[in-house]
């Protein structure tokens, strides 16, 4: 890897940056927040959204960076809201998702995160996934987005009821970022 | 305009092409179906989606073309599903929209269409909009997408209960395409 120094985390979402910065610190990696509204394409897979977004961001910033894309995939809704979770959160919100699963017996869902790293030489993606279910009502004030209605498997708490460090022990984003760090840390 | 001959209609949706071809025929314009899965970005406005998609399609095809993007915007849902109507249709479908507006007194909604024309010299967009409301249940077998639950203002029928020619008298797509033809026809 030819470039040295800090790694840019490209995001329009400061919450995401803070979660990732916390994880990076534990591994002695310096990161900086590049508050760029990256281009997201309409696609059925986060991987496609992430890779296109990362390459377009690199074409602007011209330095090593990662982008992270995440979505909540509800099984009974054919994966909705998936790659469009952010837009769906802003429009119909948590109440909308609860309305849509109200009469469903299957409330299983997963959160997925895809992190794509780009530098001059390569584009590499890492995935993290956490299975769980949609809560009956929103609980907790931590996290962001759909965290108040997502209960990861094995837990009684929603993501929003956990503090950052606890959420970071098991979140989709932490899993993807940890895979990325295993790749990145030895190469710095 | 330097290019001659047929106009390409870029779409992954043959229904759209057929509606537009019918309108073009009335004006003596020859069109051809370019079945290209155009890139759609995630954006809050159809205009942005349309212009980016049209320019990317032109960079591939290198001939005069139009793209058409449409969405259903439900007022009580903050404009959802809007630019993401196609994905929302494929996942939660018509029943999903009906679930989301079930307890709403305000069922008003509009369909919007944006057509963007590109050739070597220019990029021009045209808009069409039709106001209406969400039906209590799906009716009709014509059209596609959310047509069975959309009742345009002044009508008792849903779009799906109309034949193509009737729908073409008042649809958002017909309005946008008619504006485009007023621009395009004299220049051929």
pLDDT band at A186 (very low <50, low <70, confident <90, very high): confident
What is the pLDDT at residue B143?
A: 85
- Taking only the tens place, the pLDDT of each residue in A34-62 is 988 778 888 889 999 999 999 999 999 99
Q: Which two tokens stand for residue B185?
A: 């026809």
Q: Is this structure's pTM higher than 0.80?
A: yes
The pLDDT assigned to A4 comes to: 52
Report the binding-site residues of B for substrate.
11-16, 70, 144-147, 167, 172-173
- CA A128, A131, A137, A142 torsion-angle sign: negative
* Cα A82 from Cα A77, distance rounded (Å): 10
Using a CB-CB cut-off of 8 Å, the residues of chain B touching A102 are: 99
Residues with Cβ within 8 Å of B16's Cβ and at least 6 positions away in sequence, in order, are B9, B68, B70, B173
Domain spans of chain A?
Answer: 3-187
Cβ pair A17, A171 in contact under 8 A: no
**In this model, does residue A169 exceed pLDDT 50?**
yes
Q: What percent of chain B lies above the pLDDT cut of 90?
A: 73
Residues A97-102, mean pLDDT to the nearest whole number = 97
Q: In chain B, what residues touch A79 (CB-CB under 8 Å)?
A: 91
Question: Are the Cβ atoms of A87 and B42 closer than 8 angstroms?
Answer: yes
Q: Where are the beta strands (DSSP E) in B3-98?
A: 7-10, 31-34, 65-74
Residues of A contacting chain B (CB within 8 angstroms): 39-42, 44, 49, 77-84, 86-88, 90-92, 96, 99-100, 102
Largest CA distance in chain A: 55
Q: Hey, of A48, A67, A83, A87, which one would you mutate to test binding to chain B, going by the most B CBs within 10 A of its CB? A: A87
pLDDT at B4: 52
Q: Which segments in chain B show pLDDT lower than 70?
A: 1-4
Active site annotation includes B119? no
Whether the Cβ atoms of residue A164 and residue A19 lie closer than 8 Å to each other: yes
Structurally, at CATH architecture level, domain B3-187 sits in: Alpha-Beta Complex (3.90)
Query: Which residues in chain B have their CB less than 8 angstroms from residue A92's CB?
Result: 77-78, 80, 100
More confident residue, B29 or A72: A72
| pLDDT of the residue at B37 | 76
Query: What b/e sequence results for A114-124 when a residue is b if at least 16 CB atoms lie within 10 Å of its CB, and e otherwise?
Result: bbbbbbeeeeb
Exposure string for A5-31, b = 16+ CB within 10 A, e = fewer: eebbbbbeeeebbebbbebbeeeebeb
pLDDT in tens, A10-21: 988 888 898 899
DSSP letter (8 states) at residue B28: T
Confidence (pLDDT) at B2: 36
Give the closest-approach CA distance of A80 to chain B in angstroms: 6
Asked whether the beta carbons of residue B92 and residue A77 sit closer than 8 angstroms, the reply is yes
Annotated binding-site residues of A read: 11-16, 40, 69-70, 144-147, 167, 172-173
- Please report the ipTM that was assigned to this predicted complex: 0.79
């Amino acid at each position: 890897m030819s470039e040295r120094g800090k790694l840019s985390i490209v995001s329009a979402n400061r919450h995401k940056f803070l979660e990732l910065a916390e994880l990076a610190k534990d591994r002695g990696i310096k990161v900086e927040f590049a508050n760029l509204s990256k281009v997201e394409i309409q696609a059925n897979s986060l991987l496609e959204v992430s890779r296109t977004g990362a390459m377009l961001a690199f074409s602007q910033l011209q330095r090593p960076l990662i982008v992270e894309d995440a979505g909540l995939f509800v099984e009974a809704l054919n994966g909705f809201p998936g790659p469009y979770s952010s837009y769906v959160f802003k429009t119909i919100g948590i109440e909308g998702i609860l309305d849509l699963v109200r009469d469903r017996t299957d409330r299983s869902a997963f959160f997925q995160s895809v992190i794509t790293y780009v530098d001059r030489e390569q584009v590499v993606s890492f995935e993290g996934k956490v299975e769980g279910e949609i809560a009956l009502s929103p609980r907790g004030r931590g996290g962001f987005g759909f965290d108040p209605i997502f209960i990861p498997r094995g837990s009684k708490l929603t993501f929003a009821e956990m503090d950052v460090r606890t959420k970071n022990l098991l979140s989709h984003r932490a899993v993807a970022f940890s895979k990325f760090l295993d790749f990145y840390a030895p190469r710095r």
